[in-house]
Amino acid sequence: MSSKRRSRPDRAIRLRIAVPILPAAPVTRTVSGIICSSRHDPQCFPGGSRRTRKPDFPRKVCRSWAGEASMYGMTGTSLPQSVLAWREHGRHLDIGGNAIFVVDTGAAGAADSGAAGAAGGDAVVILHGFPGSSHDWARVVPLIARRRRVVVFDLLGYGLSDKPPDASYSLFGFADLAEAVLAETGVRRCALVAHDLGDTVAAELLHRHNAGQLSLSVERAILTNGSIFIDMARLTRGQRLALALPGRALPFPLPTWLLRRSLRESFTRDAPPPDGAVEELVSLVRHHDGARLIPKQIRYIAERRAHQPRWTAALVDYDGPLTALWGDRDPIAVAAMPRRLAELRPETELVTWPDIGHWPSIEAPERMAEAIIERL
């Protein structure tokens, strides 16, 4: 191996803090193979070529992973000021024995004052995606709240909500959670806005609405970039890595550099993340040890695949106005998805933004807020 090749920097080996507990061998081999093959990095193969040597994961990558867990005490990094400010706008509700973070605010004067359901029965309800949180909408909510009541909350395992390692994190469970939160806050009618994973939770709520089994009325639905047709999704390397791991909580969190890189993959050069956006996302994933849960949470993709007919039918059969607001530069939930929905359901309103990617609420909050307000 030439000295030139040895000199290439490798972020995966910058931390060399040894700890006594390392991931199980199958986990290390899986992660090692994906990381090294995706980077084509010869430093993962000391003493030989990629063809003849197995990745030296335990010595190089795993010490980075475990060492970082030791540095952060398994609890994650401190929250940015923008996230702390967002936390001040909400409160935690006890839902099924778990603390769920909820922001309930708006023109009608809701729960910024702490009184659940004080704003009456109508609201704009927002469902966030994976691996995001309600904070993804922090720059959108105040703009909508000038006109309407807004309820947005962190799903179990996400953001500022509790993150129990033994929870199921099922899409059906998230729909149950949404019903429970909205019952607790007194929402009886809503305009439902969803992103990413939240699109599927919204589809399950619409299935129940269509069957007359929902505890509230969905007057309108607005979907934004999410894999409503999972067979068309273009998963990032980070998502494929998480799916390759065992579907359970890890012994310690995924390293920050890996989370950061994976989240950056969900943006594009044409639609780069705003300043600080990736760090905000990473901090909320790591909060309450949440980075341990990624391999378990991402199993929603398999659940989505298994129940695709149910949730496609829910969207097609919905009897209210349905809008798809889509960033055309999305590298994951590609723009062909809402076009396919419009083919199956011609009355669907389709709006695409050529300069926006996967995160419209982060990349263009004013535009997103205006589009939602116009449709209320």
Q: Is residue 97 part of a domain?
A: yes
Q: Are residues 96 and 201 in the same domain?
A: yes
**Domain stop point among 53, 71, 89:** 71
pLDDT tens column, 6-47 = 444 444 434 333 333 444 444 445 444 444 444 444 333 333
Tell me the three state secondary structure of residue 267.
coil
**Domain stop point among 71, 89, 124:** 71
Q: Is the dihedral of CA 230, 235, 241, 242 positive or negative?
A: negative
Q: Is residue 66 part of a domain?
A: yes
Asked whether residue 292 carries a pLDDT value surpassing 70, the answer given is yes
How high is the pLDDT of residue 43?
Answer: 37
Q: Are residues 97 and 181 in the same domain?
A: yes
The CA distance from 121 to 117, in Å, is 7
How high is the pLDDT of residue 108?
Answer: 57
Q: Is residue 277 part of a domain?
A: no
Structurally, how many domains does the chain consist of? 2
Q: What DSSP line would sit under 39-101, residue for residue?
A: HT-GGGSTTS-TTT----HHHHHHHHHHHHHHHTTTS-PPPPHHHHHHHHT-EEEEETTEEEE
Q: Are residues 16 and 164 in the same domain?
A: no
Q: What is the dihedral of CA 69, 73, 75, 79, to 10 degrees?
A: -100
pLDDT tens column, 133-164 = 999 999 999 999 999 999 999 999 999 999 99
Domain with 189 in it: what CATH number?
Answer: 3.40.50.1820
Q: Is residue 246 part of a domain?
A: no
Q: Is residue 279 part of a domain?
A: no
- End-to-end CA separation in angstroms for the chain: 63
How high is the pLDDT of residue 269?
Answer: 82
**Domain stop point among 18, 53, 71:** 71
Asked whether residue 350 carries a pLDDT value surpassing 90, the answer given is yes
| Contact (Cβ atoms closer than 8 angstroms) between residue 341 and residue 315 | yes
Q: Are residues 37 and 131 in the same domain?
A: no
Q: Are residues 93 and 67 in the same domain?
A: no
Asked whether residue 222 carries a pLDDT value surpassing 60, the answer given is yes
How high is the pLDDT of residue 272?
Answer: 86
Q: Is residue 245 part of a domain?
A: no
Q: Are residues 67 and 99 in the same domain?
A: no
Q: Which domain holds residue 57?
A: 9-71
Q: Is residue 173 part of a domain?
A: yes
Asked whether residue 365 carries a pLDDT value surpassing 80, the answer given is yes
Tell which wins on pLDDT, 203 or 39: 203
Q: Are residues 221 and 128 in the same domain?
A: yes
Q: What is the mean pLDDT of the chain?
A: 84
